[in-house]
Structure 1
Amino acid sequence: MSAKISKAVRDAIADPFALGDAQSEWTLPEVLPPIAELRAALAALRADLEPTAPKDARWCLGKMRQRFGIGTAEIDAAAWLKALQSFPRNMIFEAVRIVVTDDKRPTLESFTRHPGLVRRQTDLARAEAILAALIKPKPVAPVERPPAAVRLRQCRDAALSRRDAVAAAKWARELAAAEGREPQAWVVESEKPAVAPAVDQAPAPAIEPSARNKVLMLRARARWWRKNRLDPHAARLEAEADALDPQHIEEPIGEDYEQGAAA
């Protein structure tokens, strides 16, 4: 077992003590180790089960065939390579050394059921079971919601406390429906649309421009038409302006206005 595994985790995943030949079944310990130590132990146990590289597995198979004179047709090379690659990387060379120094021809079970491999797999499975027990969520009691009438009454009172008449009327109507009764009078009144009182008001009289303003507007339009080289329209507007203002007084604009203001 790796030295990175703490004593608390070692004791938790160890085989149970039994007298005689009877082997007791392992169960979760009453006192579980700290989760931080357990996570570190899991990392070490998984590292100890890191599989063998294909290149090393082929080398080990070649050594065993050379030692025992095994021909190509005598064994299932694919099954042997699969078993050797599933064997822990840091145990494969020692296991092959023991096999080739023995006079007994090895079998697949020599590696698939190797005591060291079984021990590591058992320790990992027990550590994972302890971790699952540590992180298992505790049952949460269901939240008991108050009855609908109580919740609606609380919402109505909260709306009234903040002077929100619209929300209060909404909750009060739902409360009345939940209790099987008609809503209160203030709820019905609050939901009626507000109608503004009719006000008799005479239409505003139309404001007609003065004669001088009419003349100024006509002459301004005539100047615009002449600027755009539409003399017939300009002449018609000037004629209308002359008819309204026979004296033909031009409005001072531009430099003429500035000179008149300076005078």
Structure 2
Amino acid sequence: MTPPMDDHALASTPATSAGELLLRTRSANAGLEPKALKDLGDRVSHEFLMAEIGQARPDDAVLSEEGADDQARLSADRVWIIDPLDGTREFSEVGRDDWAVHVALWEKGQLIVGAVARPAKGITYSTSQSDGPKGVAGTPLRLAVSRSRPPEFVTGLAEHLGAQLVPMGSAGVKAMSVLDGEADAYVHAGGQYEWDSAAPVVVASGNGLHASRIDGSALIYNNANPYLPDLVVCRAEVAEAVLAGIRAVSEA
């Protein structure tokens, strides 16, 4: 008999497989209008992940961006928090690779495992690995920011810190860029939900990065309202400077 997957594998293996399914879906439906392709990608990945997690852990609850929110999760001990396709805009654009699949597990008050798959790059980041961030902090600092709509707040923060803006796609990609050494911090204050950040945050934290709200407080998951509007993911050695910069810009 094949032994059951541990929780780390149940995050990373389905995230990777969902990403491979999304690659096939995008290739087979390249002629679709962008909105239709986005919707198709969301649906097929959501259905796949729900089936995989449901079969492996039938007693666990799931909070998915693409599923109805069952409030029974609020009394559950274990809740999978998933974003079946993070970065639908990038997914719908031919050749773009800056989109992701998020799978995280919350248990009794905290995130414990997670995975962020970047299918078009053939990479899955997971809490089963703890190698720490690559490289060293840049001089000047590099802030990951939305390529299409960089928020005014982060632009002001970059000016205050003398930092460079590094544009890229999805939230998961931005957070993992800090782990990859392509950026030093990802600061977001424009509104998000728990599925946008849960997997990136637990993977980042498990690899020694700082992760918090922009005021430095803890990120809390499995709330009745899953809206979680802001976060900071950054190298630990620059966290104090980044948080101080956020305070200064917020008070200006």
Higher relative helix content? 1
TM (norm. structure 2) is: 0.19
Q: State TM-score, norm by structure 1.
A: 0.18
Structure (1/2) with the larger strand percentage = 2
Larger RCO (CA within 8 A; separation ≥ 6): 2
